[in-house]
Amino acid sequence: MTKLQKSKEIYESAKGYTVRGVQTNFKYIQPHPIYFERAQGSRIWDVDGNEYIDCVMNFGPCILGHGHLKVLEAVRNQLETGLTVGLETELSLEVCKKLTGMIPSAESVRLSNTGTEAMMHTIQMARAFTGKSKIAKIEGGYNGWSDDMLISYHPPLDKAGPADLPNAVPDSSGLRADSTIVIPYNNADIARKIISRNHDQLAALIIEPIMMNLGCVLPREGYLQEIREITEENDVPLIFDEVKCGFKPAPGGAQEYYGVTPDVTVLAKAIANGFPLSAVVGKSEIINVTDPVDGKVLYGGTYNGNQMAVAAASATLDELRTGEVQAYLNKSTHNLIETFHRIAENEGISARMQGIGGNFQTYFTDEEVVDYRSTFSVEKEKYDIFQKVMFEEGIYFWPAHLFCHGISAAHVERDLEKLCDAMEAAMSEVKK
C-alpha cells in the first residue's frame, strides 16, 4: 500500500485556510489530495517520497516532459531581462509568427493566459463578427468554465434530453444556458438539422475535434469534413477547441492531422509545455474585430504575452514544429493500445483503449465510445480497480473513468515497458 501520510497531514492542516486543500476542484480526490514535491521528465515525486511514472502530465500541457532543459533555459535567460512591462516585446510577436507557420487556420494571432480566457475572447469575437448571440457546443465537451461554455459537460441522463435534440444543462450553479445550443458528437446528420434550424441565431459552433474530456474519443471518418461543410452552408463560423489536442497528433494539431481548417482555433496547454499561455488564432477578418484602433471588441489582459510564458512557448514550438515529437507519441500510443487490447483479450475482459498523439484512455466496455451518451456503457467499478492497481504499481493514473491520460516525449522505452507491465497486473486484478 502506497504511504500518503504526509499528504494527509498537509490536507488536514490546509482545510483550515483554503477550500479542501486545492486551488482547482479538478485536483481534489478522495479521501484527500496528493501533494507533489518535484517533477522531472516522465517522473513525479510526492511529499511522502513516492515516485511515479506520470500519465496525468498536468492535465495535458507537458508534451515534452517535466522540466525540459531547452524550455527552462529559455525561461531562465528571460528572467534576467524582465518578466512583464507595460510595453509589447518582440518575443511575443515571434511566438505569434511561429504559430502562423504551424497552425493551418492561423492567419492572425492574439495571446492570452488560459484556455478559458482564450475561449471567452473567441466567443466575443464571434458574436461581434456575426452580430448573432447564440453559441453551439458539443455535448460532453469541456470548453472552459465560462458562463456560456460550462454547459452539458457531463449532464445527468435524466436531464440531458433526447439524443437527437440535447438539452443545455448547466454544470454548476450560477450559470445561464439560454444562449447555448447543444449538439451530439460524431453525428453529422443531427448536427445538420440543429444548425440549419438555428443558423440565423448562431454566432459559432465550438467543437473539440478530438474529444479529450470524455477520455479520448476520435472523430469518425469524414465527420469533421461534414461539420465544416455544414457550417459553411449555414454561414456559421467553425471554432476548433484545440486546448487539449493542439500540437498532439501533428505540429498543426488535429486540423492538420484530419485536413479540416476551421475559422478560428483556441490553443493552450502544450503551447508552452506547462507555462500559462493560450492563443486565439484564425481568419484575420474575425481576429481583427479586436483591433485596438477600429475594432469592436476589447482584448485585454495584464499578463497577455508575459515574457516567461512566451519564452517557454518559443522554445516549445521549436521542438514541436519538426514533427518528430508527434511521430514518437503517435507510435507509442499505437503500441500501448495494441498491448492493452492483447492483455484484455488474454484475460477475457471486455475493455478497449482509445487514443492518439500521446493521449489515451481505457474504457471497460465492449462498445466503441463515440460520444457522450456511449460513455454510459463503461463499467466504472472496473476502471476504479484498474486505476488503484496502476497507482500501487507506480503509475500515476487519475481516479476518473473519463479522464484523458497521456505520455510525453520524455517517456522512454523503459517507462512504457513499466506502464505495460502495470496494465497487465491491473487487468489481472480486474478479472478477479
The catalytic site residues sit at 142, 241, 269
**Identity of the amino acid at 193:** K
Cross-strand pairs, 346: none
Helix (H) or strand (E) holding 422: helix 413-431
| Burial label, 25 (beta-carbon count in 10 A; 0-12, 13-18, 19+) | exposed
Number of H helices, E strands in the chain: 13, 14
Cis peptide before 31 (omega within 30 of 0): yes
Instruction: Please state, in angstroms and rounded to a whole number, the distance separating the CA atoms of residues 241 and 81.
Output: 34
| Burial label, 268 (beta-carbon count in 10 A; 0-12, 13-18, 19+) | buried
Q: Which residues contact 405 (CB under 8 A, 6 or more apart)?
A: 55, 56, 359, 360, 361, 397, 398
Residue 357's nearest CA partner among 292, 269, 423, 296 is: 269
Question: Helix, strand or coil for residue 52?
Answer: strand
Give the DSSP letter of residue 138.
Answer: E
Instruction: Say which residue the cell 453525428 belongs to.
Output: 187
The torsion angle over the Cα atoms of residues 202, 103, 215 and 350, rounded to 10 degrees, is 110
**Identity of the amino acid at 165:** L
Pairing state between β 134-138 and 202-207: parallel
